[in-house]
Structures are given as structure tokens and as C-alpha cells.
Amino acid sequence: MRRPLCRSDATWVATLGLALLTAGIHAGAADSEQARVITGATIIDGVSGTALPGYALVIQGDTIRELLSPEDPLPEDAEVQDLSGQYIIPGLIDSHVHWLDWMGELFINHGVTSVVALDDLDNGKRNKSHSSHSLPRLFHSAKRPPFGNDDSAAEIRQIIKEWLARQPDIAHFPTFNPASSRAYALAAEEVHKAGFMVFGHTENAVDSIAAGHDVIEHVWGFTQAAMSESELEAFQAGEHLTWATFMTGDWDRLDEIIDDAVASGAYINPTLVYEWGGMSRDADRRELDDYRLLSNPDLVYFPGNIARSLLAKHRQIKNFSRRFENVPYVAYLPADDQAEFREGYRNVREFIRRFVAAGGKIQAGTDTVSGAMPGLGLHQEMQMLVEAGLSPMQALQSATRSSAELLEGRGGKRGPALIGSIEPGKRADLVVLDADPLVDIANTQKIARVMKDGRWVELGYHPEYFTFTKPPRSIAGSTFAPVISSITPAAVVAGHPGSRVVIEGSGFQMTTLVRVDGISVTTDFINPRRIEIELPAELMASPRPDPYRAPGPAQRTGIVGYRTIEIHAFNPPPEGGASNSVHLMVEPDWPGQ
């Protein structure tokens, strides 16, 4: 028996009809627009693996209509634009962004026409982004599905159902670890049924891929999977500078891990600039590129604290040892530790080279804003991928076609993405370059024009683009003001030679500076929990008057105490700040005592 049409069915049909009508009107409007043809440029389409010199690009409305070979006639009555001597690549995709609303112009001006935001963005903002010339197209993960290992299969299915109601574009899962494996696998199964890829951190890439992990954020999960139990315990206890040195001498095992990952269809999102930029041979040049960008007076809205932190990252390295702070300056490290980080970086480059050589795919992402400069950082990521052994074409594809596959879902179940390549039917998102990126990947920074949604973007920055109404956030791994918990000794005798003072607390770094009564003194960094100073003898030779003493007969005791010296520690910018003050007691040197 035929089921009667209920009200919800009628509403759905009406909505579908309106959508189809709107799509028809949109398609009709696009078809009625005069075709535009771009000639003369060399096209790098993102899919063919080779450059296409002499090809013409036909654009109708917001869509690429066709690619014409040099032998094909141009359409009649088309508007022709000659871009001889230039190069056209697809609009770039940053597949790993933590979105903040002030970033839009920075992405667009660097040819990044789409970003995947690991955030929960509202529908209005996402819808606006697809037609706006001051925003990249925004795709989002919604909130991480909040499943836990104690949840039942039914509870996990309900959690994923509620997550799907947020209309995500990818699934960004909590970090995989052995304790979460059961729930992770159940949640991944539900997400895969809906066609999505699973993106996220892992503490064991072998096990997480087996549980349904598709895109591995960063490289460390592969190394942890190859560690012995004792090695992993030592690393987690902070006994090693970096996980990357564990790759040395273990390539047979790592090659097996790579082969299995590639066979499963897993991708890597390595974020090289974020984790290893300070070890790159071109770190100085990239810092200068960032500085030139930040010097633009129209970028007055760029947060100063974030700017300083991103500039510093080109001279820092991500550390995991309890001997140093989170991101120490490379130049301050002992020579042996610098050498160990260089070895780790060689291993990471070799791992990525082998992964791609085995047929694996990279999705280029920056972990912006903690990882890199919005927009510019994606160009720097491609440069570091080439430094790791990828060809310029492979690096370009990592920031175009391969990243678009993230949106197409597992096995392409969510349908073809309309971005990431120059093909008929795709959105006309293009970047025009003045130099060949296949000769030098850094030429992707030589941007002449950007097209989004079939229209040329007016490049440049506007100081009124964003106004902060509350202090901007800090980037991940920032160092803040230290805290002093104790000093040893707690008291010294006035007039005696200088004393060695041990200061304990937290948040100390190799650039921490101690000030004694407002005077900076040489500070010896021991570890993030301990620093030491030599107390200047002159501060004790002529002690200030004791504020507690009242006029009267001389005594050999302080009735209510003695004067003190104020001590605090200071972490310099970026971020940083002054600690709490502690006071060192200065006891008088009473005659005869």
C-alpha cells in the first residue's frame, strides 16, 4: 500500500524543488554569460602531472567550461584575455587550518582560495565564503565527535548522528591511543558509512589506520608505532629531544609501515613548517618573507603577539625533552643537541620521500595560526615538501588535488569536489603566476592575479578589514611569564661576597633573565624548572636602610625582621612576561657575631 505523503515529506519535496529550480536558474544565468577565454599561459591543471603550454581555458560564469588544446578553435563571441608568458595553477587549498576571522585577506592574497577549518563554523559564514572575494571557501569539521571509550556502540552511533547534523565536511577525531581504540573504531565505522574521511592525531599510526584513520596529522604517530615499549616510555617521560631520531637505523620496519599505510589509502598531513621549519636550510629566507609581509602598513589588524611568535618560529624547534622549553631557539642549544635535531629532520624528510615514492599521498596543511603565517605558510609548506624530496609538481598537487580528495570523502563517496584542479565543471578558482613553479616551487609566491568563483580578485589589504574587540589568542606552544616557587638560600649576610642563588619554579627557558632589585644579572638556565644566578656582591656591600628599624638604642637583632632584595624572572617576547617577585632576606653582619 502506498504511504501517504506526510507534512515532513511535503516540506522536503518543496525544498528539493526549490533547490533544483535555484540550481537551474543559476546554471541558466551562467550559461547566458559571455564565455571568457584565457590564452597564452601555461596551465598546470593539478591532475595530469605535466604542464600544458599553449592550452586555452574557457570560463563560463563561475565554472570552468573546457580546456582547449592549441589545435582547438576558440569559441565565437568569447571575451579573450591573453596571459602570454604566465602560468596558471588551481586555487590552493590549505587542508589544516584553525580558523580565525581576521585571516581572510591573507589567504586570498596568497592564492589560497579554500581552507579546511578544524573548527565548528556557522552555516552563514560558510555560505558567504563561497562567493566572497575577501574570504577563502570555508570547509569545516564541526566539533570533534565527543565519544569516549566507555560509550556503548549505540551511544557512539547517536553521537555521530548528532555530529552529522552540524553538516561537517570532514571528521576531525580526538587523538587515537590504545585506550581509545575500541570507541575510535566504532566511531570511524559510522563516519565512513556517511562517506567522510577521518582526520586527526595518533599515538600509533599502525593501530589507528587499522581502526579507520584516513588522514594522519603530523608524522610522529608512525615513529611511535615503531618504538619498543621501553623506548616509548622513555620518550613519554621526556628523556629524548625528539621522536624523529628513533627512525635512525629502523628503516626496514618503517618501510613495512609505509607500505601498509599506502595500501590502506592513508594520507599524511605533515605540517613541516610548524614542526621543523627552524631546521630548514631556507629558514632565514622564510623569516624574511614573513617580515616583509608583516611590514605592510595595511595589515595593522594583524595581532602583534602572533606576529612576533610566528617570526620566532623560524629560529625555533619543537622539543620534547624535559631539559628544555617547548620551542627553544636552535642557536641556544648545545652543539650535540643541535646535531640530534638535524638528524631528526633528515629522518622526517626521508620518511616523507619514501612514503610518496611508495605511492602515498600528501595533503599540504599548515596548522595555521600556530603553525605558520596565514596564506604564505602554505607556499612555505610546499617548499619544505620539495626539500623533503617531492617534485614541484607533487608539492603542487598536495596543495590542490590531493587536498580536494579530503572533501570527497573515503573512496570518493561524497562526490567530486568542485575545487583543487583545472577541469571542466570545476569552479573557476585560479592563481596566475609570473614564473614557472615547476622550475622552482618558490615561484608560487610570484602571484600576478587570483580568480575566485570566476572573477578576478582585487588583491591588497584593508586596515579596516578586522577590529579586535578582545585580546587575540596566543599560538600553541607559546611561552608565558615564569613562576618562582622558591629560592635557595633564603637569606644572605650583608657585606659578604656574592652568593650563588638557586631559583626553582616553572616556565623558565634558555632566554630567561633574572632581575635583582630591578637590575638584570647573568642567568644560568639549568632546565625549565630551575635557573641560577650569582648574586652581585655590591647589592649586599651597601645595604639600604632597614625599613623596619625605628630610632633608639643600638641592638644586635632585628625586632621585626630585616631588609630584603627583590628578585623576579623575565621571559622576553614573543609573549613572555615577568614572574612573581620573591624576596631574599639580607641579615646584618652584627659586630662580634
If asked whether residues 489 and 345 sit together in one domain, one would say no
Which of 368-377, 533-542, 551-560 comes out lowest in average pLDDT?
A: 551-560
Is the predicted pLDDT of residue 31 greater than 70, yes or no?
no
Nearest Cα neighbor of 247 from 233, 258, 262, 239 is 258
Mean pLDDT of 116-137: 96
Q: In this predicted structure, what is the pLDDT of residue 562?
A: 72
If asked whether residues 410 and 490 sit together in one domain, one would say no
- Asked if the structure places residue 185 within a domain, the reply is yes
Mean pLDDT of 410-434: 97
Is the predicted pLDDT of residue 4 greater than 60, yes or no?
no
> For the chain, first and last CA: distance in Å?
109
Which of 8-12, 30-34, 176-180, 369-373 comes out lowest in average pLDDT?
A: 8-12
Which amino acid type is present at position 415? G
Q: In this predicted structure, what is the pLDDT of residue 553?
A: 63
DSSP assignments along 114-162, one per residue: EEEESS---HHHHHHHTT-SSS-EEEE--SPP---TTS-HHHHHHHHHH
Q: Find out whether 367 and 271 touch, Cβ atoms under 8 Å.
A: yes
Q: How far, CA to CA in Å, does 572 sit from each of 373, 417, 504?
A: 21, 46, 18
Nearest Cα neighbor of 564 from 548, 586, 547 is 586
Q: What is d(CA 382, CA 370) in angstroms, rounded to the nearest whole number?
A: 17
Is the predicted pLDDT of residue 458 greater than 80, yes or no?
yes
Q: What is d(CA 204, CA 175) in angstroms, rounded to the nearest whole number?
A: 10
If asked whether residues 349 and 215 sit together in one domain, one would say yes
For residues 444 and 541, which has the higher predicted lDDT (pLDDT)? 444
Q: In this predicted structure, what is the pLDDT of residue 588?
A: 76
Residue numbers of the domain that contains 402: 91-234+244-312+335-420
Report how many domains make up the chain: 3
Query: pLDDT grade, residue 558 (50/70/90)?
Result: low
Q: Find out whether 46 and 16 touch, Cβ atoms under 8 Å.
A: no
Pull the grid cell for residue 168. Answer: 561537517
- Return the CATH number at 260: 3.20.20.140
Q: What is d(CA 523, CA 199) in angstroms, rounded to the nearest whole number?
A: 44
Mean pLDDT of 369-394: 98
Final residue belonging to a domain, choices 402, 420, 438: 420
Long-range contacts from 527-530, C-beta under 8 angstroms, 24+ separation: 527/322, 527/323, 527/324, 528/322, 528/323, 528/324, 528/325, 529/504, 529/505, 530/502, 530/503, 530/504
Handedness of CA 462, 396, 97, 387 (dihedral sign): negative
Q: What is d(CA 457, CA 451) in angstroms, rounded to the nearest whole number?
A: 6
Query: pLDDT grade, residue 492 (50/70/90)?
Result: confident
If asked whether residues 415 and 507 sit together in one domain, one would say no
pLDDT in tens, 229-281: 999 999 999 999 999 999 998 899 999 999 999 999 999 999 999 999 999 99
Handedness of CA 258, 261, 267, 268 (dihedral sign): negative
Mean pLDDT of 67-85: 95
What are the φ/ψ torsions at residue 11 (nearest 5 degrees)?
Answer: -60, -45
- Return the CATH number at 518: 2.60.40.10
Which of 17-31, 72-86, 238-252 comes out lowest in average pLDDT?
A: 17-31
If asked whether residues 19 and 145 sit together in one domain, one would say no
Q: In this predicted structure, what is the pLDDT of residue 537?
A: 78
Nearest Cα neighbor of 312 from 78, 47, 576 is 576
Mean pLDDT of 483-509: 90
For residues 564 and 166, which has the higher predicted lDDT (pLDDT)? 166
- Asked if the structure places residue 322 within a domain, the reply is no
What are the φ/ψ torsions at residue 466 (nearest 5 degrees)?
Answer: -150, 140
Final residue belonging to a domain, choices 376, 392, 420: 420
Task: Please list the residues that pair with 39 across neighbouring strands.
Answer: 82
- Asked if the structure places residue 167 within a domain, the reply is yes
Q: What is d(CA 378, CA 372) in angstroms, rounded to the nearest whole number?
A: 8
**To the nearest whole percent, how much of the chain has pLDDT over 70?**
90
- Asked if the structure places residue 324 within a domain, the reply is no
DSSP assignments along 173-221, one per residue: PPPB-GGGHHHHHHHHHHHHHTTPPEEE-BS-HHHHHHTT--EEESSHH
Is the predicted pLDDT of residue 23 greater than 90, yes or no?
no
The SS3 call for residue 564 is strand
- Asked if the structure places residue 464 within a domain, the reply is no
Q: How many CB atoms lie within 10 A of CB 589?
A: 12
- Asked if the structure places residue 476 within a domain, the reply is no
If asked whether residues 111 and 190 sit together in one domain, one would say yes
Final residue belonging to a domain, choices 399, 420, 441: 420
Residue 253 is inside which H or E element, if any? Answer: helix 251-264
The 530-534 sheet, strands edge to edge: 483-488, 500-506, 530-534, 523-527
Query: pLDDT grade, residue 499 (50/70/90)?
Result: confident
Q: Can you give the pTM of this predicted structure?
A: 0.90
Is the predicted pLDDT of residue 2 greater than 50, yes or no?
no
If asked whether residues 102 and 219 sit together in one domain, one would say yes
- Asked if the structure places residue 148 within a domain, the reply is yes
If asked whether residues 276 and 177 sit together in one domain, one would say yes
- Asked if the structure places residue 405 within a domain, the reply is yes
